[in-house]
Structure 1
């Protein structure tokens, strides 16, 4: 039996009795206040508390990507709401749902879009190896009235020691609107990062969160291969920007905060070094 934690049990009142508020907004607001590392578990709990919100929550909340293995090709692929049909997920390698659907059918792209999907999976498999040196990638495309849309999924998880682990999940959702010799692309990228470490001189550290960025761009198109190249370039640029932002701003700020809260060397040595530094600066100024 799955037990609901007290902090989510208390949410039942908010979701069931706040008639003046949108239940979905209340659920999303609650998720923003909880530990991002436990977002998947918390979404499951909220779906139990408010089953009517299940579909909207799964569509609105980005959670760490699940991994399944294609039974036909024996290759791993990533699962998200964009390749899901009920309780089955479509493999980008075989284009088949797992487990098989009862009616034997599912939502699948047209032949033209499927050919692009195959090329995109091949291209991002190379990209994954170059930038991540491991991990898993999956690309899914679907038809739209004025073009097509899709998502690029990347996941890398490491555990260098029993007391340290980390995971990177990036979800890039885009749509491409065909125009005369060009296409208009709109890309929304989400990175979910989780880092955990435990050491005697540091204690237990849990750093996790997510970042969302969006960009729109018009690019030249000659054929369907141009779409794959354009999407690849946009995803590559966006991932580099988000990684640099995480490293320089968020990690840098976290390091400063941790340094102010807890010093690895004795504070007496740190204060003595700071006093020496101030004295040198004052003497140079004189």
Structure 2
């Protein structure tokens, strides 16, 4: 089988398996087919891992965008762990914007997530343009019978549109996992991911404007995706579960239906 067919088959397999186990399944596939490692790591979104920066003592998130070989760069110290000599670093200008973005999104994380971990990484493109990723993660009781995790991955690119404008292309992915186990309800595992994309032209006064513009795009996208998950996906899941299984006993349910019918008949007299 050619590498292209193997790659397509691997992607198709990962799409059919639980997003909760993406990292584990990805590791198994790359163990079987090592030649696909770089391509799969750069194209498959997986739940974010957390690591502590040894220099700053602050947590940061790991992804393919701050990875160089087996090392990951901390946004706080701009150093790789484990240390490497030839790791790819952003230019001085882009690093300054990256620092400002991390400070801004740290405030955003505190306001919207009330905890969790956030990291922002930038890298240089051609013609003084740049791209980056905003990562946000909030986990509750990981590993227990009741657990939940929200991972947001916002990848963006910028390109100039005249003297005082830039074009932004944002691709956002949310990975959601919910699990609960009780004696009354048994086991429940709900996992999935959603990807949306938006493009916009926005005014730019200076480099600080990029941080504000990216922040506005990420904020709007997260609100839209959260509302979509709550209204469409969770609403539909609630309807399906409600039709399949009810918490009250069958006797109580029948009594409620009978009372409802009696009320309707009395109103029609």
TM range (shorter): over 0.9
- Report what 1:23 is aligned to: 6
Question: Distance between the aligned counterparts of 1:50 and 1:20, measured in 2?
Answer: 9
Find the aligned partners of 2:3 and 2:261 in 1 and give their Cα distance: 58
Matches within 5 A, 1:1-286: 16=1, 22-101=5-84, 104-146=85-127, 147-159=129-141, 162-180=144-162, 181-278=164-261, 280-281=263-264, 284=267
| Structure 1: gaps (5+ residues) | 1-15
Unaligned residue ranges in structure 2 (runs of 5+) = none
Post-superposition Cα deviations, 1:117-158, rounded to whole Å, max 9, x if no partner, equal 000000000000001111100000011114110000001111
Number of residue pairs matched? 267
Change (3 A) 1:213 1:74: same
State the alpha-carbon separation in 1 of the partners of residues 198 and 205 from structure 2.
22
User: How far apart, in 2, do the equivalents of 1:66 and 1:183 lie?
Assistant: 32
Residues 161 and 142 of structure 1: CA distance in aligned 2, closer, same or farther (over 3 Å): closer
Partner SS for 2:141: strand
Deviation at 1:25, TM superposition (A): 1.0
- Residues 176 and 279 of structure 1, relative CA distance in 2, 3 Å threshold: farther
Deviation at 1:261, TM superposition (A): 1.7
Q: Post-superposition shift, 1:275?
A: 4.3
| CA offsets 1:172-216 (integer angstroms, 9 cap, x no match) | 000011222111000000001101111111111101110100000
Distance apart, 1:283 and its partner CA: 5.8
TM-score by length of 1: 0.89
CA 1:285–1:24: 2 relative to 1, 3 Å: farther
Q: What's the TM-score, normalizing by structure 2?
A: 0.94
Deviation at 1:270, TM superposition (A): 2.0
Residue 161 of structure 1: how far off its partner (Å): 9.4
